[in-house]
Chain A
């Protein structure tokens, strides 16, 4: 039994989950633009700071109360694999509708880091999001990212490093 720490990436389909996974691990998984195509769970290794992690790309989920098989699988991973960090990746444009899952993850006692992905698209349509204020409201680390270009990924890794150390 090795005690490698785990990072689970969760979020609804189509928010750039698989791409974030690739950014963190450098291993390619088939990226799908299509809601619900990522049925299989992809795993890879990532080095963040000095620590090596196993990164798990969970199937798309909208809520901790599952409707689909994918959501059941994703919840099972969260419950059974005891991840050291759970990255909840959301579409920054849709913060309002995606926050409820963040709440549920925090409520479940999971070590959540929130990644506001595709933040460039949000900016493009004229949304400005106050990240420090959001952090204060949620009491968890928050980072703005663009997984297609890699913007904000280093900041996200920094937040993960701090977070993993503090827990």
Chain B
């Protein structure tokens, strides 16, 4: 390949000498290994150190000596060489007749990345994609239909009747069809509440993703994200987090540094509500548009503040942002469908057992009285943030799944147990509250036990403190929402 030319002589001689010293099998040519060594590839250096302990020092000497001959890093010299060769070949094989006028797609793209038109476009996409489609259509229309018309009218009465005739023991009947029964609560929440919300979110996300909008959003938001120790790149896990924080935590792997991954994990666990939770919270605050703004403002502020503080506390430099901006494309229906199906399937295999498990735990907890004990303990912080004691149950549910907890609040709201202020405080606290079991496990898996646990403990205290502060502020200022 690009052989040594003017700059190459010293490099080429060094490379040959290194090649002659290499004896091991690296799966790639010795020339390639030599070049990677000269470019100071850490993985290859370690590999060679282990494979060739006797000649490693001599190799290192050659590398160091070669470096002194060049002002730029050797990787730059090597890349330059290759690029010259690539440009030469490209010049020979490509006949060029490019068009000059901007295509419509390019014009739209330019509008998306210009902040003056880009920010309104972003807000429109969020409003129609998330609020209207996921919030109103998914969490409203579809949920109502499945919950009222299918579960309450058809499934619940029949299943209750069936179990009443099959299982004579009240205790075991409760397990399946009681207030927190596996079917009446677990399956109902999963199918009637969560499934429609998550599915509509993943449809919206797949459409947004397939158009190529996300990289444009990333470049638009990079400067803000820099303030919280992230780069524009982190916008992908953050937006995905609005669908499922667990899945998004997994995707933080694509962020280049551990520091960014930790900050993103904290923010996902704390301040990014997942679609299931978001849907229920939107329903919870329905008709309280001022309350919705307060909720959005407080959660947004927490997001920025905690991000900013983490970026100050965690060691490491600020990340750099670089990203390819692919051309805009019209999303293909089949692609959107398959992606959505795959993700919903992943989501359900991951969370459905958790719902059932939670129902069983709650049942067992009630039977043994543990549930009551925990509820009693939780009543203190719940009272502390100005909520009725009954809300403690919803927070206990929140341990199992955040949306489960939010759904519990929703039931309390329907029963008319909340004032406007209490609704907002409850929504804020629960949004920030502990990650669900699945997300906690993912945090531990991706970040390790120590970080995973530390994040949870921090969030437990922090969420109630914010709830307390908001409640206090509203009371002091005499605001009732």
Contact = CB atoms under 8 A, between A and B. Distances in A.
A31 B339 contact: yes
Interface in A29-67: 30-37, 39, 63-67
Given A35-B215, A35-B326, A107-B29, 13 more contacts: A33-B209, A63-B79, A64-B36, A66-B41, A79-B27, A97-B83, A107-B32, A108-B31, A110-B28, A126-B99, A127-B96, A128-B94, A128-B96
A82 B25 CA distance: 12
Nearest to B2: A103
Contacts of B36: 64-65
A64 B79 CA distance: 11
B253 interface: yes
A97 B339 contact: no
A78 B254 contact: no
B90 A133 contact: no
B342 interface: yes
26 contacts: A31-B338, A32-B209, A37-B209, A39-B250, A65-B36, A65-B41, A68-B254, A78-B27, A79-B28, A95-B93, A96-B94, A99-B82, A99-B86, A100-B82, A100-B83, A104-B32, A104-B82, A107-B32, A109-B29, A127-B94, A130-B92, A130-B94, A130-B95, A131-B93, A133-B92, A133-B93
B256 A35 contact: no
B160 interface: no
Among B26, B28, B212, B253, the most chain A Cβ lie within 10 Å of the Cβ of B28
B251 A95 contact: no
B166 interface: no
Among A78, A82, A108, the most chain B Cβ lie within 10 Å of the Cβ of A108
Nearest to A130: B93
Nearest to A94: B90
A134 B89 contact: yes
Given A30-B342, A33-B209, A103-B1, A96 B90 contact: yes
A127 B98 contact: yes
* Number of chain B interface residues as a range: 35 or more
Contacts of A78: 27-28
Contact of A129 (B28, B94, B99, B211): B94
A38 B338 CA distance: 15
A64 B36 CA distance: 8
A76 to B, nearest CB: 9
Contact of B97 (A35, A109, A121, A126): A126
Contact of A108 (B28, B86, B253): B28
Interface in A60-98: 63-70, 72, 78-80, 82, 95-98
A31 B28 contact: no
A79 to B, nearest CB: 3
Contacts of B477: none
B198 interface: no
A69 B253 contact: yes
Contacts of B471: none
Given A31-B339, A65-B36, A129-B94, A97 B86 contact: yes
B233 to A, nearest CB: 8
A15 to B, nearest CB: 9
B132 interface: no
B324 interface: yes
A98 B83 CA distance: 9
A129 B338 contact: no
Contacts of A137: 89, 92-93
B90 A109 contact: no
Interface string B153-189: 0000000000000000000000000000000000000
Contacts of B82: 99-100, 103-104
B93 A14 contact: no
Interface in B61-110: 75, 79, 82-83, 85-87, 89-99
Nearest to A13: B324
A125 B28 contact: no
Contacts of A100: 79, 82-83, 85-86
